[in-house]
A and B are shown apart, each in its own frame.
Chain A
Amino acid sequence: MRMVRFVDAETRAVVQGITGRQGRFHTRLMLEYGTKIVAGVTPGKGGETVEGVPVYDTVAEALDRHQVDASIIFVPAPYAPDAVYEALDAELNPIVVITEGIPLRDEMEMVARAMRRGITIVGPNTPGVIKVGECKLGIMPARVFTRGRVGVISRSGTLTYEIADHISRIGLGESTCVGLGGDPITGLDFIDALRWFEEDPETEAVVLIGEIGGDAEERAADFIAEGGFTKPAVAYIAGRTAKPGKRMGHAGAIIQGSRGTAQSKMEALEAAGVSVAERPSDVARLLKALLG
């Protein structure tokens, strides 16, 4: 069984690709949130500082000077795999890969290497992971989250913010939220995350936010039906109106053959005892009914 590691108030992180536009911007927002960003890495920019954070040429140098646990990567797609391998060599865990557009072949290889070492990769193409009120290792807007009882696992960014906003407003709040990533190959799937939330004492229920393409939601439904996850669960699946063979934005969101339709995912989840919401705002109402 694979061990998954997320983040908390103690997590100290390095930002790889800190001097780019996105890296810089989100370093500031993460620091404002209270995340312990202790160092940044950009090859060739060693010696600079970004938002008061010292920048190094290599991850190894950052490790010589600082205690570091985790990494968040903003490096452009052609160079992102090497950044991931550098973080893996330094045994940073988890490694959050924000980068969009990494080739599938590289994703397969980096995920295989991480699995072999027991290291969690969040993403690629993810908004990241947040333990609400403690640590935000990602690009999600902080204002939609309120510390509370619900865990969120999602394949989509803005839709997560939409649903988290409702969960916050209804008074339940969130414990930890993780974006699996929009690509066909990701380090985590729903099952890995469900196992973690099953053990998390601060999570009383989870929300699964899925979309068309692949069969990760169906496999999660099997896992729940077999008793692998026992807390209340609510799901929302995007893409009922999607046409087979047409890619709906995400590289992962495409219906191929008869597999991966919203219908098949919703049916599988319902059969496993998961409450499936029709509209994004219904998620919070269903949770409220389940948790009281």
Chain B
Amino acid sequence: MRLLEWEAKSVFRDYGIPVPEGRVASTPGEARIIAEEIDRPVAVKAQIPVGGRGKAGGILFAETPEEAEEAAGRLLGSRVRGVEVKEVLVERRLALEGELYLGVAVDRGSRAYTALATSEGGVEIEEVAARTPERIIRLTIDPLEGLRPHHARWLVKQIGLVGRRMLEAADILLRLYRLAVEMDAELTEINPLALTPEGLTAADARLNVDDNALFRHRDLLERFGGSELLGLTQREREARRLGLTYVELDGEIGVIGNGAGLTMATLDTVQLYGGRPANFLDLGGGAPADRVEAAVSFLLTDPKVEALFINILGGITRCDDVARGIIAARERAGAWKPVVVRMIGTREEEGRRLLEEAGIHCLDSMEEAAERVVSLIGGR
């Protein structure tokens, strides 16, 4: 779950990490009221769950409440980096003396949280990593020891901070680490951490919470919730409501597989034969007939899907269940489309028999099936 900036900042406040004064608005009028309360020049920032917002025109500055209202009017309802803006954060504009970066992220290689710091704040950390990797200082945090204050001081000293600012930054990093652990963050960043005459402030905030840990953060879902759907397409939202693991792509061939690896390999193979997959849809393990039916019906209603490729390797998943699901979807469907089924494994004979009786032919090889489905739609 990726929180929006204003949501992440409200969690930062809970942990005593300094953030600029401000609030979120969903109408230009609200933006004006907030700017009046702040009574200083403000930044009006589109709240979208994607990076590179500033460059894409998603952040505007306003000297007066009237300008803030106008800026909010321009951003709200517009699309920034392909995502519709539904809220803006109106907050006090900072007098920047410099921009740093602090982050805590799960590092797969070391199987631990890693604290990251650089003096090159304000640009995406990936850019810094590509351009000047030596400017990023990393510290692997032993999961059984945690981050100690002296570790934090060492790290912020490496990026050139001294004296009071070093102590301030070390304190913020310790708070950020505690937040990461307690909130089950995959990633939390302050970019930029603004150097201002009044001290250090988190000018932006990022917090991605591990989806698998949401069962112990019900409060987060209650507080924020809805923003998770912002980065998704209309069909992806619908799929989520149906409980399907689905990613929309641009092609014409609807793909259903079981298991993430096999489904990805199916997409790749379709493409290798000159076809373009319309989606990723993973049935997961042990899908019952009604989940298969829901998945097939869902792809049939996608106008850009011209043919379906169903690729099943039965382990926990039973081929007869899959066959029943496909047949049920066809009985229910208003408009059927060409379907290629490749199915082997558990209860294969029974599954094939059911499909053959229904007039649906079943193939053995994934490559052969990919070739067939591509030829069906003319191999564009």
> Which residue numbers of A lie inside 8 Å of B, CB to CB?
77-78, 101-105, 107-109, 111-113, 116, 127, 139-141, 143-144, 154-162, 165, 182, 184-186, 189, 209, 211-212, 214-216, 219, 236, 238-243, 245-253, 257-259, 262, 278-281
Contacts and interface: CB of A to CB of B under 8 A. Distances in A.
Nearest to A163: B265
A9 B313 CA distance: 27
A101 B257 CA distance: 20
B249 interface: yes
A105 B181 contact: yes
B177 to A, nearest CB: 12
Contacts of A279: 268-269, 272, 366-367
Interface stretch (B6-14, B18-26, B104-112): B104-112
Contacts of B315: 127, 139-141, 157-158, 161
B219 to A, nearest CB: 16
Contacts of B256: none
Interface in B79-130: 106, 108-109, 111-113, 124-126, 129-130
Contacts of A157: 259, 261-262, 285, 315
Nearest to B348: A143
A185 B106 contact: yes
Contacts of B261: 154-160, 182, 209, 211, 238, 250, 253
A240 B273 CA distance: 13
A107 B249 CA distance: 32
Give the 3 A-B residue pairs with the shortest CB-CB distance, closest first: A156-B261, A249-B260, A158-B259
Contacts of B282: 248-249
Interface in B265-293: 265, 267-272, 277, 280, 282, 284-285
B346 interface: yes
B49 to A, nearest CB: 10
A233 to B, nearest CB: 18
Contact of B108 (A77, A112, A113, A185): A185
Given A105-B184, A109-B143, A112-B144, A280 B269 contact: yes
B interface secondary structure, majority: mixed
Nearest to B268: A240
Interface residues on B, range: 35 or more
B365 interface: yes
A154 B262 CA distance: 12
B263 interface: yes
A158 B272 contact: no
Nearest to B181: A105
Contacts of A107: 111
Nearest to B214: A103
Nearest to A191: B109
A250 B111 contact: no
A108 B106 contact: yes
B280 A103 contact: no
A33 B365 CA distance: 26
A88 B218 CA distance: 30
Contact of A161 (B216, B264, B313): B313
B367 A248 contact: no
B258 A278 contact: no
A132 B144 CA distance: 36
A236 B212 contact: no
A112 B111 contact: yes
Contacts of B126: 257-259
B349 interface: no
- The listed residue with most A CB atoms (<10 A of its CB), out of B142, B144, B268, B284, is B268
Nearest to B262: A158
